[in-house]
Amino acid sequence: MSTLRAACGAFFVVAGALHFLRPEAYEAIMPPQLPAHRELVLASGAAEIAGGLAVLAPGLERGARWWLVALLVAVFPANVYMAVSPDQLEGLPASLPHWTLWARLPLQGALIAWVVAATRVP
């Protein structure tokens, strides 16, 4: 297994676990229009863990790729909400510059590119 694949899988497993360890941090960035914030946070955490494990499992690369790409697209509105409405977010450090929330948006594309690269089958 390549280092790229191992790092990608581990990243998503850890990121998903954080949804269970600190759900309130993720709930705070949820757009208010979405229902059941806690349930959606836990579901997205489980989806990240499943995707990360699939990246690590030989033979599941293609499914892991599409699973995680779909997940990253699905959670993008929460990142946009963070950038557009930082004053409405509870628990965001006051010292956090708002420009960092905008700078975070292109990182979603970088994560998608990483997933695609990591799940290529030689």
Q: What percent of the chain has pLDDT over 70?
A: 99
Q: What are phi and psi of 33, to 5 degrees?
A: -70, -20
Domain ranges (residues) in the chain: 3-118
Specify the pTM.
Answer: 0.89
Q: Compute the distance between CA of residue 20 and CA of residue 38 in angstroms, rounded to an integer.
A: 10
Q: For 31-69, give one letter per residue: b (16+ CB within 10 A) or e.
A: eeeeeebeebbbebbebbbbbbebbbeeeebeebbebbb
Query: Would the pLDDT of 122 be above 80?
Result: no
% helix, strand, coil for the chain, step of 5: 75, 0, 25
CA distance 119 to 113: 10
Q: What is the pLDDT of residue 98?
A: 87
Per-residue model confidence (pLDDT) at position 52: 98
Per-residue pLDDT of 21-77, as tens digits, reads 999 888 888 888 889 999 999 999 999 999 999 999 999 999 999 999 999 999 998
The CA distance from 81 to 91, in Å, is: 15
Q: What is the number of other CB atoms lying within 10 angstroms of the CB of residue 71?
A: 20
